[in-house]
Amino acid sequence: MLGSLRRELARGLGEEIRRKFGVEHLPVVETPPRRSLGDLALPAPLHLARQLGRKPRDIAQELAAGWTLPDGVCELRVEGAGYLNVFLDRPRFAAALLTAEPFGPPREAPGGKAIVEHTNINPNKAAHIGHLRNAVLGDLLVRCLRALGRQVEVQNYIDDTGVQVADVVVGFCDLEPTSYADVKALPEPFDYYCWDLYARVGRWYEQDAARLELRRKTLHELERGQGERAEMGRLISHRIVARHLRTMARLGIGYDLLTHESHILALHFFSVANEQLVARGVLRLESEGKNAGCWVMPLEGTAEFAGLEDPDKVIVRSDGTITYVGKDIAYQLWKFGLLGKDFGYRYWMDQALWMTAVEGASDHPAFGGATDVVNVIDARQSYLQKIVRAGLAALGHDEAARRSIHFAYEMVSLSPATARLLGVESEDGKAQEMSGRKGIGVKADDLLDRLEEKARDEIAARNRDLEGPELADLARKIATAAVRFFMVKTSTTRVIAFDFEEALDFEGDSGPYLQYALVRARAIERKLAEAGRGGNLDATAIAGQRPELWSDDLWDLVHASASLADTVERAATTLELSLVARHALELAQRFNALYHHHPVLHEEDAELAAVRRAAFALFARALATLCDLLGIPEPARM
């Protein structure tokens, strides 16, 4: 809403500048630091001063004179060093906002399908809070893109043939021999059992390096897909994925397709990709040196990969197996519909979720074939993702390489206090990295359990009458809000040092704070309805109210609510998703700060009450929309 006005102002002023000074300039539109200065600010005169060799204020005066302003602007002032500040017609703007769609029509042609890949947890142990950051960010991105009109396909990549699964297979087959039937019969939580077993296998290898031969043997069987160990691998992977999906479902996170690495192998995706890679001369068979017998991708000579110790990346190992990068190039080609080969598909268990298959159902939705691909993968894998991109480009798929985005975010480590809680000694005051291999980390379900328990206590203390399923449901909603907000409130470029005490805090910068503000705004509306003063807001009447009724603080709330679409769009384009969380927080803070100065139910002046009600309605709609994007559920009470 505010966005279209910003664009109109920028375009209008640009024309004015061209007409009066004969210069091409694309004006930026800012928000002034104080409302008394205006609703929007155009610093163009400051930018033009040097080029035109004139004082900014003079330029501003000249531009202001005779400029026909866009509809809805009621005043233009020259402020400060030479800003052109715009004041909006408050009643009319609020009225227009009341009847507008939150996101309006898509600004640009939405383009084709976008594939977002996230979660991607190795199916060999329980999900931890690092995986949670990935899934929560990925899911937020998906929700933002969909809100902006994009068609999105969500994929969760299951590496069911990798070393990590192999290690747990070794655990069940060699370290603690357990029959297939017994593994199948192990009680839940199966992922917790594997978490410990995986760590034990790691220590077991350390005691005798010869045992690593078992890992190699297992890995080969997993890749071939045949034999006892492959069967065991499938069982483990299946049971763990079921647990991961359940964990994510607690947070409202879901997927369209589970892509299995085993199917990429079984359907020989890489062979097809490999033909192209060899034909194009992207891969080279090494006959000597440390990479003898391997197919490598030479990276030297490009600025992007300058300064590497070893300028060659192994794609096919000397034993004929394929590295992760090789598989990922093939997978990436498939995502863009460039491989010339497709998976089979079938339902995952009985849910409305699809998974890849070797031979699948005859009738299934079309997967893959996207125009844009976003891979949500932590920043430690940037180097590998760059190689995958370079592979696409080397095959001549420059467009696909350009549209292949690695959404890199920093990892989650443990605060010293939390590390100590887990029995890990941390060096003086330093954060401790998690390690699945060592079994060091906070499990996602443990965190959720603790959050729900705390939420239940907090709710029960405030609402004595609540119990049973209703209480459990509210607790789940509040726990979801807490963890999801925690994971997205900080910039993606920053390492999160996870701290239990901070994560369990429902006050201040937190998900429950947002929920509380929303619940309170809803309560006002409910009370009005109970008093027979509810019903639809009359936009025409609002538009005609005296502007003085819109005090600055109420107007600020509306102003902030109106930049929702802008913020979401900026977040989606820059992949700085914390903007969504921060905007929601800003709205909630503004509302909390002012609502008790602006009674609605007890206001005798009907016009003033109507204005306040409209402001709160606009706020509630904006915050509810943002919470929806953030995956923060709205509790009926709390």
Partner RNA sequence: GCGCCCGUAGCUCAGCUGGAUAGAGCGUGAGCCUCCGGAGCUCAAGGUCAGAGGUUCGAAUCCUCUCGGGCGCACCA
User: Which residues from 288-347 bind RNA, rule CB under 7 A?
Assistant: 290-294, 306-310, 313-314, 317-319, 321, 323-325
CA 223 – CA 412 distance, rounded (Å): 31
Phi first, then psi: give them for residue 353, nearest 5 degrees: -140, 140
Identity of the residue, 301 or 365, whose beta carbon is nearer to RNA in the bound complex: 301
Identity of the residue, 50 or 185, whose beta carbon is nearer to RNA in the bound complex: 50
- How many chain residues are in contact with RNA, going by CB under 7 A? 102
Contact residue for RNA among 43, 123, 130, 633 (CB under 7 A): 43
Chain residues 372-401 in contact with RNA, contact rule CB under 7 A: 379-384
Identity of the residue, 152 or 518, whose beta carbon is nearer to RNA in the bound complex: 518
To RNA, the closest distance from the beta carbon of 240 in angstroms equals 15
Identity of the residue, 290 or 352, whose beta carbon is nearer to RNA in the bound complex: 290
Run of H or E including 22: none
| Site map 180..209 versus RNA, x via CB under 7 A | ------------------------------
CA 427 – CA 633 distance, rounded (Å): 39
- Please give the order of strands across the beta sheet that includes 496-498: 432-433, 412-414, 496-498
- 3 is a contact residue toward RNA (CB under 7 A): no
Chain residues 501-520 in contact with RNA, contact rule CB under 7 A: 502, 505-510, 512-513, 516, 519-520
- 30 is a contact residue toward RNA (CB under 7 A): yes
| Site map 546..575 versus RNA, x via CB under 7 A | ------------------------x-----
Among residues 97, 86, 106, 98, the alpha carbon closest in space to that of 31 is found at 86
Q: Are 258 and 344 in contact (CB under 8 A)?
A: no
**Taking the CB of residue 190, how many other CB atoms lie within 10 A of it?**
19
- 34 is a contact residue toward RNA (CB under 7 A): yes
Contact residue for RNA among 58, 410, 446, 634 (CB under 7 A): 410
Sign of CA dihedral 421, 422, 423, 426: negative
Q: Which residues contact 468 (CB under 8 A, 6 or more apart)?
A: none
To RNA, the closest distance from the beta carbon of 366 in angstroms equals 26
Contact residue for RNA among 73, 257, 455, 560 (CB under 7 A): 455
Contact residue for RNA among 268, 402, 462, 546 (CB under 7 A): 462
| Site map 140..159 versus RNA, x via CB under 7 A | -------------------x
Q: Are 634 and 627 in contact (CB under 8 A)?
A: yes
CA 207 – CA 304 distance, rounded (Å): 40
Chain residues 99-138 in contact with RNA, contact rule CB under 7 A: 122
- 213 is a contact residue toward RNA (CB under 7 A): no
CA 198 – CA 121 distance, rounded (Å): 14
Select the span of 61-69, 107-115, 263-271, 284-292 touching RNA (CB under 7 A): 284-292
Identity of the residue, 268 or 430, whose beta carbon is nearer to RNA in the bound complex: 430
Q: Are 205 and 213 in contact (CB under 8 A)?
A: no
Tokens of 84: 């052109």
Q: Are 338 and 373 in contact (CB under 8 A)?
A: no
Query: What is the longest distance spanned by two Cα atoms in the chain?
Result: 90
Partnered with residue 75 across adjacent β-strands are 87
CA 113 – CA 110 distance, rounded (Å): 9
- 33 is a contact residue toward RNA (CB under 7 A): yes
- 534 is a contact residue toward RNA (CB under 7 A): no
Chain residues 73-102 in contact with RNA, contact rule CB under 7 A: 79-81, 83, 85
Distance of CA 342 to the CA centre of its chain: 28
- Give counts: helices (H), strands (E), the chain: 25, 16
Select the span of 177-185, 243-251, 441-449, 592-600 touching RNA (CB under 7 A): 592-600
Identity of the residue, 312 or 628, whose beta carbon is nearer to RNA in the bound complex: 312
Identity of the residue, 346 or 528, whose beta carbon is nearer to RNA in the bound complex: 528
